[in-house]
Each structure stands twice: as C-alpha cells, then as structure tokens.
Structure 1
Amino acid sequence: MSLALRLTGAEVLTPAGLADTPLAISDGLITDTTPVREVDLSGHLILPGLVDAHGDAFEKHLAPRRGAMKDLDQGLIVAEAELAANGITTATLAQFYSWEGGMRGPDFARRVLESLDDIRPRVGTDLRVQLRFEISMLEDYATIEDWITRYAIPYLVFNDHLPHDLLAKGKTPPGHVGKSLRIGKNPDRHLEDIQALHAGMDAVPAALDALCARLSDLPVRLGSHDDNTAAQRAAWDARGVHIAEFPETAEAAEAARATGAPVVLGAPNVVRGGSHKGNASALDLIAMGLCDALASDYHYPSMRRAAFLLADGGLMEFAAAWGLVSSGPARLLGLTDRGTLSPGQRADLVILDAKTRDICATLSAGQVTYMKGDVAARFVG
C-alpha cells in the first residue's frame, strides 16, 4: 500500500542540500501537495533511497548450504528483506552466466531470472537484474541476445574470468579439482572445456563487435568489468559498451572518464580503505573525480557506510557523497524517476536516526519495505 503522508521535523536531503523542511508523499511519488496526515520525524534524516547498480550478496540466500538451491523464490524474498533493511530501494542483482557452472552457470541464471519474474509483484523493492556474461562463451552469444528480450534484461556486463596466463602455460588453475567437484563436473572434462574456451579467444573480438552492434537496437545498457588498461576501455567504448564497472587501475578509470563513460566502484573498497584484490583504491579514484556510482558489490551495508565515510573524512560534501549511492547510479542506469527527493520523483526514501545513523525505515514508491522501533510507532500512532 502506498502511503499519503507529510513527514515533518526531520532534516531532508533536497537537491539543494540538507534542510529542515517537510516532505510530502502521495500515490507513490514525492509531491508538493499537503496530505492530511502528518508524521513527526524529529531527530531523523530523510534521504533518497539507495540505488544499487551491482550487487551479488543475494547469492547467499539462494544457496545457504551447498546444493540447497531448490526454492529460489523464497531466497529472493529474503534477499529483498535484507536490501530494504539496508535502505536499498532499487537493487540490481548481478547474476553470472559463466563457464564456471553451479550458481554461475547458464541453467542457474535462467532459474534466477524466472524466479525474479515470479516474485516481483510480491515485494516492494524494485528488483532489477544485471547479467554478467563471460565473453569466451562464443556458442552462447545467441542465447544472451534472446534472453535480453525474453526476460527484459536492462543491463548486460561483459566479463572474462578465464585464467589465461596459467592456461597459456599449460598449467591447471589453483583449486581446480575442488571447484569442479562443487559444480558436479569431472575435473578433467572441466579443464578441457576451459582450455577450449581459452584457445578460442582469437574469435572473441569480432564476435563481440557483431553482438554489440545487434544489441545497440535493444533497450539494454552495456558495461565492461575489471578493465585494466586504457586500450581495453577504448575497445569497449568503440563497441558502445559505455559503463565501466570496477576498473582495476587509474589508467582504465581515466580512459573511461575521457570518453564520458560512467565509472562504477565498489562501496566495500571505500569502507575497507582499499581493494581486497590489490587493485586501485576507490578512495584514490574518488579523490581524482573518477567515480559516478558506488555499488554494494558483495556487501549491502557498505553503500550507506561509504557515503558517510566520504563525508566525514572531508573527501566530499555529504550531498555529493550520498549522490554516489542514489542519483549517480540512477542516472547511469537510465532511471530518471528516482535518486532525488523532488516533486514528481518516486517516493523512494530512507529514514535514519540522525545520531546513530541506523536505518529506521525504507519506503519504495511510497510503500513501506522496512520499518522498526520508534519510527514504526510514530507511523502507526
């Protein structure tokens, strides 16, 4: 149920900055009219809901134990509750389509897409999907093109996780046997398959050129993942792949900025103070002006924490820092109806305790998706 309320007493993050001003919502939108009912939120902050451009923390709910992957709809519903508890009103679930198999394999990806279609009408958070496609899978290019239309996939990202250096030397990747057994595949057969994918990489650039040309006529945004060099980013840009996710170096991030490609960095990288893989520090890239959005990556709470860390550390003003987790990702995803608390925008908002910064409530399109404690009492009182 979408609420009609006038929220008073709180500091509201408006397009002009934080202000002690009422915020009215009605029919799922921010409005400049005055609903009859008021809720006093003194002592709280009202901020735009978080827009996550890339998150895979939902995976743990789909397979809490090895092999327990039968009821994906229930896992997605629980994941949605976690998203809402972290202030996320728009979530992009990053699902692999990979030679790695198991939860990253094509069959599992199809099941996730079908389950998402089933549960979306039953939840309040706007659940979107990003398909992460391994470019070495030449025989699957037609399937990807079909799925984008069949499942209305709005965002496709190109990955390449093959251990090319090891395979070129004829070596077996570390942990190969264990990984093969976990996905129920014979290790020798699995090694043969990834060696064949590696051997076929010469055909990938032309195949990508053709695929991206065909996709240019479809309503799908294209991104590259883990760019390492300016040359890599330039090649993607020439194909119309205009979002740069998690560039591994400042060189790649600068190349993206030079062509106007939005740069997505990981919020956990900010919170940790650096990359867990030894790549470029998100803090350094942000200081260089090379970030348009912070994504949850593998940890939903990091989005909120990263925004406050950036503001508290003096790296940027709070409004700009919060923009990296709200209006910035909304913009690069083409979602013009959210990201700011302006009349006519979706009533996507998060209510925080001003002292503790704990999330007290989340509303998505004016619908309560999470609420607790004193704020809940004020709403129902």
Structure 2
Amino acid sequence: MIEFDLVGADVLWPEGLMRAPLGLCAGRIAAAGGGREVDLSGYLVLPGIVDMHGDGFERHLAPRRGVMKDLAPGLASVDAELAANGITTAVLAQFWSWEGGMRSADFARRFLTALDKTRMLTDCRVQLRFETHLLDDYAAFEETVAAYDVGYVVFNDHLPHAALENGKRPPRLTGQALKSGRSPEAHLTLLQALHARRSEVEAALDGLASRLNARGVLLGSHDDATDEIRAKWRARGVSISEFPETQNAAASAHDGNDAIVLGAPNVVRGGSHSGNAAASDLVGAGLCDALASDYHYPALRQSVLRLINEGIVTLEAGWALVSSRPAEVMGLSDRGSFTLGKRADLIVMEPETGRIGATLVAGKISYLSGDVASRFLS
C-alpha cells in the first residue's frame, strides 16, 4: 500500500479546519513525513462520509422492473457511485416487506448472499428493514439476521391502515401489485390479512426486539410520528429514530438520548416531499445526529453545503453529521475523524462546487478524478 503525505490542503482536523499535512500509513491516519507528497493546494480534505441509511442501490440491481439475474455487476456499480460521492462507509437499507419483488424476504436473502461474495472497495454494511406486521416471518427474519450477522435492523410499518380500516382500496395498489408479482386482488387480500392481525404485533415486537438486543443488534424505528410512539420504541431498546415525521417526535428522541437520523434529500429539497418536518429546521434546533442519503447518494455532501450556505451550521458541525457522529451512533470508533491511528477514510473535495476529486477507504483509492487524479499520479 502506498503511503502518502497530503500537503497544501485545508484539512478538517478534530480541532477545526487547518492547513497542516495529513499522513497516511498502512491504511491509517499517521504523522506526516514518511510518505509520498501529494500537493492538494486549493482543496478540502475531509473525513469520509458514513451513510447510515441508503436504498439508492436498488436502481443498480433492477434498472427496469425485474431484478437482474447476477447481482454482482450491479453491486460493482453501487460501489462506484458511493465512491464518486465521497461515501466510505455505506449502510445499504434492504427491505424485508410484504411489498414483494426486490423488497421480499427471498430477495433480501439473495442480496445478502451476493454482498457477502462481492468485493467492494467501499465498506458496505446492511440494514434490514423489517415490516412489523409480517407476523409469520418473525422466526425466519431472526434466523436470517443471525446467519448473515446483520448488525442493524429498522422496524417499518408501511401498511395503508387508514384505507384498510375503512374498507377502501389503498392508493397505488395496482402499481404495488405489479412490482410484487401479484394480481391487485391477491395483493389487497394480503394487506387485509396483515391489517386484521394488528393486535398481535405489539407483543411480537417486544419479544423480537428483546432477542435482537441480546445479540447486540443495533435497532431503529422509522417515521416516528409522535412522542408517544418514540417512547414505546425506546422502552423496547430501539435507540435510533430514523426520519421522525414531527418535531415533537424528534424532541422526544433527543430528550431520551436516542439517536436521530434525518434524510439529506429533505435538506436539499428544502423540505419533506410528504409534508413532514423539514430536516433543516430539525438540524437548526439541534435535533439531528446524522444525515443519511435515503434514496439519493449525492444528497449527503449537498445537504451539508446547503446547511452551511444558509448559516444553519458551520463546516465543522455540518460535516460531523455525515462523518464522526454517524460513526459514533453505529459504534464505529475507528473512523469518522482524522485522529492518529484511525482508518484513513477521507475525501478530497473542491470547496466551491462540492465536487469530489478523490475518495480513499482505509488508505486505498476508491475514486480519483480530474485535477486531483493528476496530482496523485504525477
């Protein structure tokens, strides 16, 4: 592995932004002076992005309706997109859902198997997103978590309960049915059956969360709407609140020392596409521990730049939301900041445009482009 001394750039150290050389040795942050000098004058050198939740990989595995037979080329494409966007640690959020297709239990297992067998330059991990009303799947889901050593589980409930309760046909039913491979009638029958057993879910969740906690699995909830809902999850040991829908729910998470993950696309868009709390407002109120790519990988760095331009955060505080703080939430103490001995996960970025010139994961180059490439290769 080539050792580097990165010189001339503005480097985001734990103490703040300083123009001081950064040494890379054996895949770790080291004292400068032993490596080949690379002059990065005019650029920012920042800790690599840690993405706690992203499902943008789906389009690489199914560019049109239907999954590709061999997932390895799609995963290689995911790896390239992650690297081009400065993501050095990526949590791929894979559904285990009644939605079927790419979000089915069968595909989740296939995806986990393919990821295990595919060499990725990015440190790719898995979050399994489990639909809570799949009561007949609890045992199989738990077995899969154990078999693939899944370290992060998030609980979802996307059933259209209001429509089902009122005997109405849920919105987008036909499109969902086509994606699942079912007829609209069969899909509706399934949703009705899951909704009918809703009274059994609370007790089943209590047991599952307890057992996963005992295994050391990180647990999160999705789209918390109220402080009461967040308090219920906290009582189960579910310590991460993903994309809370209201400021009350986010405040409850904060007061309970739960981690709050917000969607970076929400920041870039200037608000939620579904009318929920604006992520920028929550960041400004101190109700955010990590920004996540959600469905759009470029949004991570774009969101930080927008927050800085709007005067909501400093570079130091904003970049922490995509590096050191998500690493801390995930228990990854070996990355997220430029401390001697930590992994050499970093990006080189144009300060004016936010364009990535280089991404390094554990000291290995995963992306290199343009003028920055010339400097590394000269």
Task: Output the TM-score relative to the length of structure 1.
Answer: 0.97
Counterparts in 2 of 1:148 and 1:68: CA distance versus 1, 3 Å? closer
SS at match of 1:216: helix
- Give the aligned partner of residue 286 of structure 1: 283
The answer to whether residue 321 in structure 2 is matched with residue 324 in structure 1 is yes
Q: CA deviation at 1:67?
A: 1.9
2:29 maps to what in 1?
A: 30
Number of the residue aligned with 1:84: 83
Structure 2 letter corresponding to 1:101: G
1:38-82 alpha-carbon deviations (Å, 9 max, x no partner): 111111110000000000111100000112421211101101100
Letter in 2 for 1:302: A
AA aligned opposite 1:104 = R
- TM superposition score normalised by structure 2: 0.98
Structure 2 CA distance for aligned equivalents of residues 262 and 182 of structure 1: 33
Whichever residue aligns with residue 251 of structure 2, its letter is E
Q: Which residue of 1 aligns with 2:106?
A: 107
Note the residue ranges of structure 1 that are not aligned, 5 or more in a row. Answer: none
SS at match of 2:214: coil
Letter in 2 for 1:103: M
Which residue in the other structure is 1:307 paired with?
Answer: 304
Which ranges of structure 2 fall in alignment gaps of 5 or more residues? none
Aligned AA (1:67): G
Q: Does the Cα contact within 8 Å between 1:132 and 1:158 map onto a contact in 2?
A: yes
Q: Deviations over 1:275-315 (max 9, x none)?
A: 00100000111111100000000111110011111112111
Are the equivalent residues in 1 in contact too, given 2:305–2:354 (CA < 8 A)?
no
Aligned twin of 2:134? 137
Q: How many aligned positions are there?
A: 378
**Structure 1 residue 33: Cα displacement:** 5.2
Percentage of identical aligned residues? 56
The answer on 1:217 being equivalent to 2:191 is no
Matched, 1:344 2:341: yes
Q: Does 1:270 align with 2:250?
A: no
Match of 1:61 in 2: 60
**Separation (CA, whole Å) in 2 of partners of 1:49 and 1:269:** 21
Contact 1:3 1:28 in 2 (8 A): no
- After TM superposition, the structure 1 = structure 2 runs for residues 120-135 of structure 1, keeping only pairs within 5 Å, are 122-135=119-132
Deviation, structure 1 residue 211: 0.9
Q: Quickly say closer, same or farther: Cα 1:90–1:36, change in 2 above 3 A.
A: closer
Over 3 Å off, 4+ runs: none
Q: Deviations over 1:84-120 (max 9, x none)?
A: 000000000000000010111111111111111011x
Once residues 203 and 235 of structure 1 are traced to their aligned partners in structure 2, the CA distance between those partners, rounded to angstroms, is 16
Distance 1:165 1:36 in 2: 62
Deviations 1:298-352 (A, max 9, x none): 1111100111111121111110000001011111111111100111111000001
Distance between the aligned counterparts of 2:311 and 2:84, measured in 1? Answer: 27
Q: 1:87 to 1:197 in 2, by over 3 A?
A: same
Counterpart position of 1:96: 95
Which letter does structure 1 place at the counterpart of 2:101?
G
Q: 1:39 to 1:158 in 2, by over 3 A?
A: same
Partner residue, 1:48 = 47
> 1:297 is matched with which residue?
294
User: Quick one: distance in 2 between partners of 1:145 and 1:357?
Assistant: 41
Task: Tell me, in whole angstroms, the C-alpha distance in 1 between the residues paired with 2:374 and 2:4.
Answer: 15
Q: CA deviation at 1:177?
A: 2.3
